[in-house]
Amino acid sequence: MSKYMTQSKVTQMSAMQQGHKASHPGPAATAMPTHKDIAKRAYEIYVEKGHQHGQSEQNWLQAEREMKSQDQAGDPTGYGGY
């Protein structure tokens, strides 16, 4: 590639690369659950357990375990139907 590439050429190449990534997902396409995802699931567990106080750490760890195991099983949503 020339070091004097025009902006439109850079934009075209970037679009082509993005299209290539989208059409050929690899191992990086499976994202780890985010902090927000885990927090949401931990709150759901808290509600399911009848709003028991003092269990936040256990709820968080359970949410992490569930979401990581679903992620490894290939669940693209990370929620397993939740």
According to the model, what pLDDT value does residue 71 have?
A: 78
According to the model, what pLDDT value does residue 70 have?
A: 86
Is the pTM higher than 0.75? The answer reads no
Q: Is residue 81 part of a domain?
A: no
Residues 6+ apart with CB under 8 A from 45: 59, 62, 63
Q: Is residue 82 part of a domain?
A: no
Q: Which residue has the tokens 């009848």?
A: 50
Residue 79: CB atoms within 10 A of its CB come to 15
Q: Is residue 17 part of a domain?
A: yes
Q: Is residue 44 part of a domain?
A: yes
Q: Distance (Å, rounded) from C-alpha 75 to C-alpha 30?
A: 9
Residue 66: CB atoms within 10 A of its CB come to 20
Name which residue leads in pLDDT, 40 or 72.
40
The domain tally of the chain equals 1
Q: List, for residues 5-58, the tens digit of each pLDDT value.
A: 445 554 555 555 555 444 555 555 557 889 999 999 999 999 999 999 999 999
Q: Is residue 2 part of a domain?
A: no
